[in-house]
Amino acid sequence: MTRRAPFQVSVLPYTKGPEEKPLYAVFRRPQDDGGYWQFIAGGGEQAETPLETGKREASEEAGI
């Protein structure tokens, strides 16, 4: 049986645009995987903190 991660995170990458308003990065899945738009997300592994999980997911999914 596959166990669910102990917690989930969402990562919302952004930069400051004109007038310091945030510009968010939203990612689109390939068409054969639904083609829907989403932020970076994932579950915690082993003894990770939520911050460590967010950093790992951002690196794995977006290279940031």
pLDDT (tens, 9 = 90+) of the chain, 64 residues, equals 667 789 999 999 999 999 999 999 999 999 999 999 999 999 999 899 999 999 999 999 999 9
Q: What is the pLDDT of residue 22?
A: 96
Q: What is the pLDDT of residue 5?
A: 86
Going by C-alpha positions, the residue among 24, 27, 58, 63 that lies closest to residue 42 is: 58
What tokens were used for 39? 């932020």
With beta carbons less than 8 A apart as the criterion, state whether 14 and 24 touch: yes
